[in-house]
Structure 1
Amino acid sequence: MANELIVSTKNEVSTGVDHFTTALTSYLNELGLPTDKVLVAVPERQRVINNLPDVIFAIDGSRRQNSLYLSKFIAACGAGLFDAALNFIWDETVVNLRTKVARFDLEYFYDSVVTDPARRTKLKGESDLSKIEEWELVRGCHLTGILSDIGYKHLDYIRDMRNWASAAHPNQNELTGFQLVSWLETCIKEVIAKDPEGPAIEVKRFLNSIRNTNLTAGDAQHINAGIEYLPADIIKSLLRTLFGMYTAANAAVQIKSNIKLVAQKCWTLSPEDAKHECGFRYASFAANGEIDRKSAANEFLTVVGGLPYLPGDTLALEISEKIANLFTELCMVS
C-alpha cells in the first residue's frame, strides 16, 4: 500500500542520516551558503542513535508518549544539529520540572525560591511558573526536595552548558554524541523518569495536614519528630513557608493554630540566615504599612522567640513603642 507505515531500524536511520547529510550539503553549496561546521559529523550522530534505545526506554511508555521535546531532540541529532538537540533536552527537563512542582505544592515552592515579598504576591497558580527563571526552577526544586543534591548539581551544570553550547545563544562550541547521550540520561534519571520521594513527600503530607486538619498536641509531637530528620535546606524552606502561611492576608485561624504547634521545632532547627530573613520580612511589612501582616509576623516571632532577629532599627522602634505603651498604661492607672 502506498501509505503503509515502514518502521526503520537504527541501522536504516543511520544510513538515511548519511544520505540526508550529502543531499543537504549539496543544497547549501547550490545556495552559496557555508557548509563547514554546520552539521556534526555522521559518526558522532551514529553514536547517539546507537545508544538512544537503552536510554529512552528508562522512561515508561505513558511518559514517552508525551515527551515531545525528546522527539525533537532525536530529530536534531539525526540532522546533525547537536546545539539544537541540547536545547531540546533542556526544554523537556523544564517541562517536567514545572509539572512536578504543580503536582507537588505550589505555595511551598514559591515560598522556598522567591524571597522578595512584592514579587511573591504575584505568583499564585501553575501558569505563574513561567515567570520563574530556569535557574530558580532548578534551585527551587532542590530546596523543596524534588531534586536530590546530586541531581541538582548535574542539572545546574547541564543548564550552564545549555546557555553556553546550545542553539539558545550564538556559539561555535562542538558537542559530541556521547556528551549528549550522557546529559540526556542524567535528565531522564533525575527528572523525567523520577518522582519526588523521601523528604519531599514528607513535607507535602505535613503541609497538607497544616492546611486541612485540626492538629492536636499529640499530632504535633509526631510532626516535630519528623522535622528533625529533614535535610537542612528543606527545613529552611519549610520555615519560610510556615512564616508565609501565618502572615498571609487570608490565613485561617485553624492554620495559624496548627502552625503554632510546630513552628518552634522548625525555628530551632533552621539556620541563622533563615531566622534573620523572617525578621527582615517583618520589617518589610512595617515599612509598607501592612499592619495586619506585621501583626501576624509579630505573633509568629513571639511564639518562636524570634523577636531578637528583627533588624536593629526595627527592634529599636519596637522597644520604644512598647515602652511608650507601658508608660501610657501606667499613667492611666495612676
Structure 2
Amino acid sequence: MSQPPIITAQGQVSNGVDQFTHALTAYLNHLGLPTENVLVPIHERQKVINNLPDVVSTIEYAKRGQSLYISKFIAACGAGLFDAALNFIWDETVVSLRKKVARFDLEYFFDSVVTDTVRRTKLKSEEDLVKIDEWELVRGCHLTGILSDIGYRHLDYIRDMRNWASAAHPNQNDLSGLQLVSWLETCIREVIAKDPEGPAIEVKRFLHSIRNAILGEQDAQHIRAGMEHLPVDIVKSLLRTIFGMYTSETTSIQIKSNIKLVAQKCWALAQDDSRFECGLRFATFAANGEAARRTLAHEFLAGVNGLGYLPPDNLAVELSEAITALFNAHNGYNNFHNEPVHARNLVAYIPNNGKIPESVRSRYVKTIVMASIGNGYGVSEMALPHYRVMISSFSEDEHKEFVRLLLERDLSARLSLRSCAPNFRQLAQSFMPLTTNQITLAALNMIGVSTDPQIPNLGKDSGYLRIINSF
C-alpha cells in the first residue's frame, strides 16, 4: 500500500491553538479559577508543532495508526499541558517495549529481570508484563539486548524526568517545547521505530533452538561459538535463563539435554557474580523446601563444575533478599520515603566483623553505592546514616568491588545524572587512605582526578581497564 501524501496544516493548528488558549483563559476567568501557570506559552507549543512532521515521519506509516499515545502527546502539547504530554511520551514507550518483549522471548525477559524465584513463578504470559515496574521493564530490555546502551541511558533519564517533571509535580513550566520533541524523537528512534538487533537476535535464535530442536554436538558448537561474541550483561541474562529452564520441573528431558551441550560454555563466559547467583538460587530452593528444584540445581552446577559457588550458609540468602528489597525500593516510586526501612533491615544482617559473603558482595556494594550517590535528585536523608554505617565497614574486598562498578552499564548511566559523579568521586577519595592494595589505590586515584563528564565513561577507558584487569 502506498503511503498517502503528508498534509501540512501547521498554520491552521497554530491558529486553533491560539483561539483555544484565549477561549479557555476567558472561561477560567469566568469561573474565578487561576489562569497563570496553567498552560505553557504558545511560542513553546509552536516549537513542538513545527518539528512534529519530521519526527513522526521516522515511524513506519503502518505503525502510526497504533500509536495512540503519540496522538495524545500532540493533543496535550497543543493544549499547552506539557506535563501531561511527557506522560504520554512515556506511556507510548512503555506500550512499545512491552510489545517488543512479547514478540521477542517472554521467558528470557522474565528470567533476566526477576531474581526472586517466588515472584518469577507468577510471571508467565504477556498479560503479566503489567506486573513489571517500568524501571524493571527498561532495565530488563537493556539486559536482554532489546535496548542499546545509548537507548538505555536516554530512556532512564526520560523516565526520571517523567517521575519528577510530569503531572505528578507542579513544575511543567520548566519544560520547553524543544525538550519535549527531542524526547519524543529519542523514544521513537530507540524504541518505537527500532527492532532488536545484533546480540539480542542471536540469543533469541539460541533459545529457540534449545527449546524446539534436537541438538547434536555440531549444532552446539555453532551456539557455543556465537556465545563468545555476546556482551557480558547478555551472557549473565542467558545463564540465568538456562539455569531457570533446567531447574524447572516442567522442562522436558530433551530441552535439558540441549542445555547440557551449551551450559558449560555459558558458565565459562559468565562473571563470578552470575555464577554466585546460581549458587544462591540453589540455597533458596533448599530453604523453601523445593527438593526437586534443589536436586536439579545441584545437577546443573555439577555439570558446569560450579559447586564451589554454593553459599556457605543461609546468611547469604537472607542478605540477598534484603539487598534486592533495598534495590527495588531505591529504583521505585517514592524512593526517598521507602528506602530507610529497607536500609535499616539490611544493616541488621551485616556481621560484626563486617565480612560480607562473597556470593552477594558484588550486589551489596553496587546497591549501597547507587543508593548513596543518589538518583540525580538527591539522596534519601533518612536512609543515609545506614548507608554510612555500611560504607564505613567496607574492607579491601568491598573496595575492589567499588572500582569494578564502573564496568557496569547501569551504574555508568546513573553517573551521567547530576550530582552522582561528584558523590561517587567523593566516595573514591574517602577510600584512598583505607587501602594498601596498589591496584585498588591506582583505580581510586584515577576516579579521584577525573572530571564529572569523564567518570561515567571510565569503564571503557583503556587505562582504567588495564588497572582493573591487574587484579
TM-score normalised to the size of structure 2?
A: 0.65
Is 1:148 equivalent to 2:142 in the alignment?
Answer: no
Q: Distance in 2 between the 1:19 and 1:8 partners?
A: 19
Q: Distance in 1 between the 2:80 and 2:187 partners?
A: 21
Q: Distance in 2 between the 1:313 and 1:139 partners?
A: 30
Residue in 2 that maps onto 1:178 = 178
Deviation, structure 1 residue 289 = 1.1
Q: Distance in 2 between the 1:258 and 1:249 partners?
A: 16
**Aligned partner letter, 1:226:** G
Residue in 2 that maps onto 1:330 = none
SS in 2 for 1:308: helix
Q: Distance in 2 between the 1:202 and 1:172 partners?
A: 44
Residue in 2 that maps onto 1:111 = 111
1:275-310 CA distance string (max 9 Å, x none): 001000000111111111111101100010110100
Q: Distance in 2 between the 1:12 and 1:31 partners?
A: 29
Q: Distance in 1 between the 2:284 and 2:132 partners?
A: 22
Q: Distance in 2 between the 1:290 and 1:48 partners?
A: 56
Residue in 2 that maps onto 1:138 = 138
Q: Distance in 2 between the 1:172 and 1:166 partners?
A: 8
Deviation, structure 1 residue 15 = 1.1
**Aligned partner letter, 1:106:** L
Deviation, structure 1 residue 208 = 0.4
Deviation, structure 1 residue 70 = 0.4
Residue in 2 that maps onto 1:321 = none
1:176-218 CA distance string (max 9 Å, x none): 0000010000000000000111111110010000000111111
SS in 2 for 1:12: helix
Is 1:283 equivalent to 2:265 in the alignment?
Answer: no
Is 1:54 equivalent to 2:51 in the alignment?
Answer: no
Q: Distance in 1 between the 2:64 and 2:74 partners?
A: 13
1:219-248 CA distance string (max 9 Å, x none): 111110000000110000000000000001
Residue in 2 that maps onto 1:209 = 209
Q: Distance in 1 between the 2:23 and 2:290 partners?
A: 67
State how 1:52-131 maps to structure 2 within 5 Å: 52-131=52-131
Is 1:253 equivalent to 2:259 in the alignment?
Answer: no
Q: Distance in 1 between the 2:270 and 2:170 partners?
A: 43
**Aligned partner letter, 2:312:** G
Q: Distance in 1 between the 2:78 and 2:289 partners?
A: 59
Check conservation: 1:164, 1:171, Cα contact below 8 A.
Answer: no
Residue in 1 that maps onto 2:15 = 15
**Aligned partner letter, 1:171:** P
Residue in 2 that maps onto 1:157 = 157
Q: Distance in 2 between the 1:281 and 1:203 partners?
A: 23
Q: Distance in 2 between the 1:109 and 1:34 partners?
A: 47
Q: What is the RMSD of the two structures over their aligned residues, measured on CA atoms?
A: 0.9
Q: Distance in 2 between the 1:124 and 1:34 partners?
A: 49
Q: Distance in 2 between the 1:178 and 1:170 partners?
A: 20
Q: Distance in 2 between the 1:237 and 1:127 partners?
A: 22
Residue in 2 that maps onto 1:294 = 294
Q: Distance in 2 between the 1:255 and 1:130 partners?
A: 29
Q: Distance in 2 between the 1:249 and 1:64 partners?
A: 43
Q: Distance in 1 between the 2:151 and 2:27 partners?
A: 43
1:236-279 CA distance string (max 9 Å, x none): 00000000000011111101110011001100111111100100
SS in 2 for 1:84: helix
SS in 1 for 2:250: coil
Q: Distance in 2 between the 1:12 and 1:40 partners?
A: 19
Deviation, structure 1 residue 313 = 2.4
Deviation, structure 1 residue 170 = 2.8
Check conservation: 1:17, 1:78, Cα contact below 8 A.
Answer: yes
Q: Distance in 1 between the 2:105 and 2:171 partners?
A: 40
1:47-90 CA distance string (max 9 Å, x none): 00000000001001110011000000000000000000000000
**Aligned partner letter, 2:171:** Q
Aligned positions, number: 307
Q: Distance in 2 between the 1:291 and 1:171 partners?
A: 53
Deviation, structure 1 residue 8 = 6.7
Deviation, structure 1 residue 104 = 0.3
Check conservation: 1:40, 1:81, Cα contact below 8 A.
Answer: yes
Is 1:241 equivalent to 2:241 in the alignment?
Answer: yes
Q: Distance in 2 between the 1:305 and 1:11 partners?
A: 70
Q: Distance in 2 between the 1:310 and 1:76 partners?
A: 54
**Which of 284-293 and 80-89 deviates more?**
284-293
Residue in 1 that maps onto 2:231 = 231
SS in 2 for 1:230: coil
Residue in 2 that maps onto 1:331 = none
Residue in 2 that maps onto 1:326 = none
TM-score normalised to the size of structure 1?
A: 0.91
Residue in 2 that maps onto 1:39 = 39
Check conservation: 1:69, 1:92, Cα contact below 8 A.
Answer: yes
1:85-120 CA distance string (max 9 Å, x none): 000000000000000000000000000000000100
Is 1:190 equivalent to 2:190 in the alignment?
Answer: yes
State how 1:314-325 maps to structure 2 within 5 Å: none
